[in-house]
Chains A and B, each alone.
Chain A
Amino acid sequence: MSSVHALAGVGAEGATSVVGATGAFNATWLLLALPLAGAAVLLLGGRRTDRTGHLIGTLAAAASFVFGLVLFFTLHGRSSSGREVSSNLFTWLPVNGLKVNVGLLFDPLSSVFVLLITGVGTLIHIYSIGYMAHDPGRRRFFAYMNLFLASMLLLVLANDFLVTFVGWEMVGLSSYLLIKFWEYKPAAATAANKAFYVNRVGDVGFLIAIMLMFATVGTTSFTGVFNAVAQHAIGYGTLTAIALTLLLGAASKSGQFPLQTWLPDAMEGPTPISALIHAATMVTAGVYLIARSNPIFTGSQAARTVVLIVAAITILLGCVIGCAYDDIKKVLAYSTVSQIGYMFLAVGLGPAGYALGILHLLAHGFFKAGLFLGAGSVIHGMDDEQDARRFGGLWRFMPVTWVTFGLGYLAIIGFPGLSGFFTKDKIIEAAFDKGGTSGWILGCVALLGAGLTAFYMSRIFLLTFHGERRWSDSGPDAKHPHESPTVMTAPMIVLAFGSVFAGGLLVLGGSLQHWLTPSIGRSAEVGAHTINPAVLTVLTLVVAAGGFAGAYLRYQLRPVAAVAPADSEVSPVTVAARHDLFLNAFNEAVLMRPGQYLTRFLVWSEAVGIDGVVRGIAAGVGGLSGRMRRAQTGFVRTYALSMLTGSVLLVGALLLVKAS
């Protein structure tokens, strides 16, 4: 069942060695198999499992988490040179020179992901027992969540790029199924399709990267590819091409510019899904991919520069749009876009930042999941209302939600001592430390982002929990806000603890960075700081405090209208932000409309063109119908046009063949 790959002397990263699985690691596959079995039982069991489905699903997730803990501590007990454990399951695609095996790699990097996925996953399963209690499709919901867990675990555990890609697509499927969970709502069905389409654009990139790997070094396995990189067997141009195509995939999955448009729409899915898939785990897969492919990105300065540019744009874009929305979930969604931008910024810095990206990813997993669950609790208590302008003063009615959401909020804006304070500060610091003009630009962007984050998060927090009540408990639109049941609040409390402590625990003493060293190499030594870290911390706090003050002045001390002011009454920036900076409109105008016209033209030309020629010949040769012939000759110009179109297509394709 297992094979041993021992890599001798993988250059710059120090000697790393992958060892064969022994003992408990022989059963690493159980991590995926448990939730997969859960999904299978729930989907095939049909209505018979309606009553117990949520329990089976939650149990499968919890079992996987417990086993993940066992493996984690077993790994922890090993010396750091034996912490990359590979187990080979079966041969998947063997065609002569190409040999793809399905195998799992349990190493420090995948181990923290396993714990994040199954841990947060289990909490959200528990929460969903309450959240989906009255939904007739609850069993199906848990089945899809189990399917997601299995897929996500395959994504982070695979030891071959092509198998990673399988997990990558399976999480995309789970995401699609769950976004359109309420598919009788047209908006949900549309959002699910959009998510799939945009991710397919990224898939093209990922696939091209994999094909480049095979064509260049004859393998797609991690060890094979990284070994070749370490031996400098791949030229700089090819390495950069691989990195950039991987980045295309990563950007689509993680909602990074310019492929971020699907993520806010994905909020059409049930809120637990927004917490699990579209905040804590799946959307961070892009960060995982870059961190996992660290030898490739380390080897290409050019590619990392592109990562940094994408990250910087995304941070600001997410923040600016997040300031304009009133829908609590949309704000959190753009916040996710922007926070993943920070993670991309970190991993784009190369060896100095890989660990920081993972660090922020884990902390974000806790506080963003907690924020979403809190938002879900509010939405639940307010009869499915999501518009924060119709909330207000809710702290009195849902105290647990208020406190847990509040702690997540403080964590994300970087309140001293809480998770975000440690993890985001580190990224800002590393950005400045990059040095040069680019370092200053990136640092300032990150700093500005921190201020904007404090503003929009304070805004949504104050609008929801504080200030005037902008709802009524009588009349036709009466609301009766109430705290959620324990089955929902308990996971929120656990995540709140994580929001408070995770960052500090992971950062202090460099514990996570040290742990991750076998997977992503030692963090680059900190040289001279561009700005003294203490000064920078104070500066960051001041900027964040400014953001808070702005929100406090505007949304706490002044009355807030229950209906958003019309576009004509707000600034052009706000209008643009409300319309997602017109990026959706741009996509529609540049991609969708021309595509529609092309499709219509081809359908028309096919009917009267190619097929018309055939019918014309048939009519002409047979001399069957004068009427038909007359009708056909009227289309001579159309034939000509369609023949011309065909010829152009063919010549174009031929040129491609020649170019290859």
Chain B
Amino acid sequence: MSTVPWLTILLIVPTVGSLVVGLLPRARAELAKRLALTVAVAELVLAVLMAVSFHDSRPGFQFSQHYNWIKAFGISYSVGVDGIALALILLSVVLVPVVVLSSWHEADEADRNVPVFFALILSLETFMIGTFAATDVFLFYVFFEAMLIPVYFLIGSYGPTGEQAQRSYTAVKFLIYNLVGGLVMLAAVIGLYVVSAQNLRHGTFDFAQLRQLNITPGVQKLLFAGFFLAFAIKAPLWPFHTWLPDAGAQSPTGGAVLLVGVLDKVGTFGLIRYCIPLFPKATTWFAPLVLAMAVVGIFYGALLAIGQRDMKRLVAYTSLAHFGFIALGTFALTSQAGTGAVLYMINHGLSTGLLFIVVGFMVSRRESRDISAYGGMAKVTPVLAGVFLIAGLSSLSLPGLNSFPSEFLVLVGTFTRYRALAIVATAGIVLAAIYILYLYQRTMTGPLAEGIRAGVGDLSVREKVVVAPVVALIIALGIYPKPMIDMIRPAVTSTFADIGHSDPAPTSPAAAPQGVHK
């Protein structure tokens, strides 16, 4: 058993980094950037070191730590990760340095405070890792709500220049939406505590103990609904999504990457970590509703993406469709679909993250998010166009790239239990091709649009360094996803097995052919 308090280290490093960077004087912008990048890279290295010592096959949480915090209420500082949480932490620590480097000049306008911008990003990293690592429901709730603060400021203070009114509207809308969800969840968290107090004679927020509770079906449904609403807003799932396109469009690029790439995953993560294992009976009862919402979301998000005129809003709507796939995979309650759903969370973070970054590159060259302002870019910026296409192909789940294994696992895992639903969801892949390739066609092909200078530069060295690792991961995880699958699968399998859902067997398996050996 490892004695290194990995998770605590991972929480402390960006926290300290954030404080130091944030306290730098405004004039030391360059130092702030370099320091933030150093911290983010160090965090990545640490997380990778931790992941190396993670044992795929060992069930339950690893790197666990437990300290009493508010003993009177059974609140503790408890952290630990299973394969699902570890995968999401890895996603976070990969994206943060990418975001820092891609946002190098994001806050350079005269009236903006550069050190605070990067401090906000680092603090966000702490809170993201905290939500994934917490094994105490109250601690989780604290991190969950704390995330809102840096995002609120990132949108409100660092969104697109010249759209002041729209920005503050969006920031407030984001905050209110998520606060409403958070309050409902708080009620459910307290309810859970009350139940635990009745059940165990001492109230607790410890996840492992809460899992053992025997809650009556009626109460389960109420508590499930509370958690679910918060997660469905956070993810977001249709029809709780209307804050997302605004937030996606009004965030600075780096903010959008973290918001849609990682933060939203806290919602989908919450579904599989909290809703399903804590409330198994309610899960079975609510599953049809969630599945229905998921499939509607797949088509609704895709159709709205096709109809958008603003590139960032378009990418935000594609995410709505992808979250539909994730929710579908989670609530089909088979190990293939569940593993696919978690893998989808990782892959969506990479592909949508890259899409937002490339769109950001485009906006920095043309100063517009309007699709109609672009055209023929491939001719003047071939590398930019190529990276855009790779991100897009990943988003439409082209086999060979990362998203396909996850999408296939979701679909096939759903198919074994809900055939008609899976068939309808599969039809969604046609729309995915349309929203991506139609966007590519309008921005990259055809004659060069007016207003794009013929001399507009292709990707700079810094920009290439930003996208290279993400592109490499997109290709590598498409060809060889096994390490990630091996990390995720045991946790997903035991989550479903613990609540009594096993995979449907093949309807008519052939007798094993003789002489097969592997």
- Which residues of A approach B to under 8 Å, CB–CB? 3-8, 90-98, 162, 165-166, 168-170, 173, 176, 180, 183-186, 188-190, 192-193, 196-197, 200-201, 203-204, 207-208, 210-212, 214-218, 223-224, 227-228, 231, 233-235, 238, 595, 598-600, 602-603, 606, 610-611, 614, 618, 646, 649-650, 653-654, 656-660
Which residues of A lie under 8 Å from residue B379 when comparing CB positions? 184
Cβ-defined contact, A660 with B409, below 8 A: no
Of the residues A6, A173, A650, A656, contact of B424 by C-beta under 8 Å? A656
Of the residues A170, A186, A208, A659, contact of B445 by C-beta under 8 Å? A186
Interface status of B23 (Cβ within 8 A of chain A): no
Cβ-defined contact, A169 with B398, below 8 A: yes
Interface residues of B in 255-306 (CB under 8 A from A): 288-289, 291-293, 295-296, 300, 303-304, 306
Cβ-defined contact, B446 with A603, below 8 A: no
Q: A208-B423, A217-B508, A657-B418 in contact; A200/B433 too (CB < 8 A)?
A: yes
A43 CB to nearest B CB, Å: 8
Of B417, B441, B510, B517, which is in contact with the most chain A CB atoms at under 10 Å from its CB? B510
Which residues of A lie under 8 Å from residue B517 when comparing CB positions? 3-4
Interface status of B506 (Cβ within 8 A of chain A): yes
9 pairs, A vs B, C-beta closer than 8 Å = A7-B513, A184-B379, A200-B429, A214-B412, A215-B504, A217-B510, A218-B505, A223-B513, A654-B288
Cβ-defined contact, B508 with A183, below 8 A: no
Q: Mark interface residues in B401-434 (1 if CB within 8 Å of A CB, else 0).
A: 0001100110111011111111110110110011
Q: Which 3 A-B pairs have the closest CB atoms?
A: A228-B510, A660-B418, A218-B506
Which residues of B lie under 8 Å from residue A215 when comparing CB positions? 412, 415-416, 419, 504, 506-507
Residue of B with least CB distance to A168: B399
Residue of A with least CB distance to B289: A654
Residue of A with least CB distance to B510: A228
Interface status of B239 (Cβ within 8 A of chain A): yes
B241 CB to nearest A CB, Å: 8
Which residues of B lie under 8 Å from residue A3 when comparing CB positions? 517-518
The interface residues of chain B, by DSSP majority, are classed as helix
Which residues of B lie under 8 Å from residue A224 when comparing CB positions? 510, 513
Cβ-defined contact, A602 with B303, below 8 A: yes
B323 CB to nearest A CB, Å: 15
Cβ-defined contact, B409 with A657, below 8 A: no
Cβ-defined contact, A228 with B416, below 8 A: no
Q: A96-B489, A204-B429, A657-B292 in contact; A184/B376 too (CB < 8 A)?
A: yes
Of the residues B336, B399, B505, contact of A98 by C-beta under 8 Å? B336
Of A98, A185, A658, A659, which is in contact with the most chain B CB atoms at under 10 Å from its CB? A98
Cβ-defined contact, B304 with A599, below 8 A: yes
Report how far A189 CA is from B437 CA in the complex, Å.
Answer: 10
Which residues of A lie under 8 Å from residue B510 when comparing CB positions? 217, 224, 227-228, 231, 233
A40 CB to nearest B CB, Å: 10
B467 CB to nearest A CB, Å: 14
Which residues of A lie under 8 Å from residue B504 when comparing CB positions? 215
Report how far A91 CA is from B511 CA in the complex, Å.
Answer: 22
Q: Mark interface residues in B487-518 (1 if CB within 8 Å of A CB, else 0).
A: 00100010000000001111111110111111
Residue of B with least CB distance to A93: B405
Cβ-defined contact, B411 with A95, below 8 A: no
Cβ-defined contact, A186 with B513, below 8 A: no
Cβ-defined contact, A184 with B445, below 8 A: yes
Q: A98-B336, A658-B288 in contact; A204/B426 too (CB < 8 A)?
A: yes
A604 CB to nearest B CB, Å: 9
Which residues of B lie under 8 Å from residue A192 when comparing CB positions? 437
Residue of A with least CB distance to B432: A200
Interface status of B5 (Cβ within 8 A of chain A): no
Which residues of B lie under 8 Å from residue A599 when comparing CB positions? 303-304, 306-307
Report how far A200 CA is from B404 CA in the complex, Å.
Answer: 14
Of the residues B242, B295, B378, contact of A653 by C-beta under 8 Å? B295
Which residues of A lie under 8 Å from residue B318 when comparing CB positions? none
Cβ-defined contact, A95 with B339, below 8 A: yes
Report how far A168 CA is from B400 CA in the complex, Å.
Answer: 11
- Which residues of B approach A to under 8 Å, CB–CB? 173, 176-177, 239, 242, 288-289, 291-293, 295-296, 300, 303-304, 306-308, 335-336, 339-340, 376, 378-379, 393, 398-400, 404-405, 408-409, 411-413, 415-424, 426-427, 429-430, 433-434, 437-438, 441, 444-447, 480-482, 485-486, 489, 493, 503-511, 513-518
Cβ-defined contact, A173 with B393, below 8 A: yes
Residue of A with least CB distance to B305: A599
B182 CB to nearest A CB, Å: 16
Report how far A483 CA is from B379 CA in the complex, Å.
Answer: 32
Cβ-defined contact, A95 with B335, below 8 A: yes
Cβ-defined contact, A196 with B433, below 8 A: yes
Cβ-defined contact, A207 with B486, below 8 A: no
Which residues of B lie under 8 Å from residue A227 when comparing CB positions? 510, 513
Report how far A660 CA is from B419 CA in the complex, Å.
Answer: 5
Residue of A with least CB distance to B339: A95
Report how far A653 CA is from B399 CA in the complex, Å.
Answer: 27
Which residues of A lie under 8 Å from residue B505 when comparing CB positions? 97, 218
Report how far A257 CA is from B483 CA in the complex, Å.
Answer: 42
Q: A6-B514, A602-B304, A603-B307 in contact; A217/B434 too (CB < 8 A)?
A: no
Given contacts A603-B304, A610-B239, 10 further A-B contacts (CB under 8 A): A94-B486, A176-B437, A183-B444, A184-B379, A211-B422, A216-B506, A218-B506, A614-B173, A650-B293, A650-B296
Residue of B with least CB distance to A182: B445
Report how far A214 CA is from B408 CA in the complex, Å.
Answer: 12
Q: A8-B513, A207-B411, A611-B242 in contact; A93/B485 too (CB < 8 A)?
A: yes
Residue of A with least CB distance to B393: A173
Cβ-defined contact, A234 with B508, below 8 A: yes
Of A235, A653, A654, which is in contact with the most chain B CB atoms at under 10 Å from its CB? A653
A128 CB to nearest B CB, Å: 20
Cβ-defined contact, A91 with B513, below 8 A: no
Q: A227-B513, A231-B510 in contact; A93/B409 too (CB < 8 A)?
A: yes
Which residues of B lie under 8 Å from residue A91 when comparing CB positions? 482
B213 CB to nearest A CB, Å: 28
Cβ-defined contact, B516 with A95, below 8 A: no
Of the residues B339, B419, B437, contact of A196 by C-beta under 8 Å? B437
Of B176, B339, B423, B427, which is in contact with the most chain A CB atoms at under 10 Å from its CB? B423
A427 CB to nearest B CB, Å: 33
Of the residues A7, A96, A170, A656, contact of B421 by C-beta under 8 Å? A656
Which residues of B lie under 8 Å from residue A170 when comparing CB positions? 398-400
A29 CB to nearest B CB, Å: 13
Report how far A166 CA is from B479 CA in the complex, Å.
Answer: 10
Report how far A653 CA is from B293 CA in the complex, Å.
Answer: 7
Which residues of B lie under 8 Å from residue A611 when comparing CB positions? 242
Which residues of B lie under 8 Å from residue A212 when comparing CB positions? 415
Report how far A475 CA is from B166 CA in the complex, Å.
Answer: 61
Report how far A173 CA is from B393 CA in the complex, Å.
Answer: 9
Report how far A654 CA is from B286 CA in the complex, Å.
Answer: 11
Which residues of A lie under 8 Å from residue B508 when comparing CB positions? 216-217, 228, 233-235, 238
Of the residues A8, A211, A228, contact of B412 by C-beta under 8 Å? A211
Which residues of A lie under 8 Å from residue B411 when comparing CB positions? 207, 211
A434 CB to nearest B CB, Å: 31
Cβ-defined contact, A654 with B292, below 8 A: yes
Which residues of B lie under 8 Å from residue A218 when comparing CB positions? 505-506, 509
Cβ-defined contact, A6 with B515, below 8 A: yes
A240 CB to nearest B CB, Å: 15
Of B446, B481, B514, which is in contact with the most chain A CB atoms at under 10 Å from its CB? B446
Q: A654-B289, A657-B292 in contact; A8/B515 too (CB < 8 A)?
A: yes
Report how far A81 CA is from B121 CA in the complex, Å.
Answer: 64
Q: A8-B514, A92-B482, A234-B508 in contact; A207/B378 too (CB < 8 A)?
A: no
Report how far A188 CA is from B446 CA in the complex, Å.
Answer: 9
Cβ-defined contact, A233 with B509, below 8 A: yes
Cβ-defined contact, A606 with B437, below 8 A: no
Q: A166-B400, A660-B421 in contact; A653/B296 too (CB < 8 A)?
A: yes
Which residues of B lie under 8 Å from residue A176 when comparing CB positions? 437
Residue of B with least CB distance to A606: B304
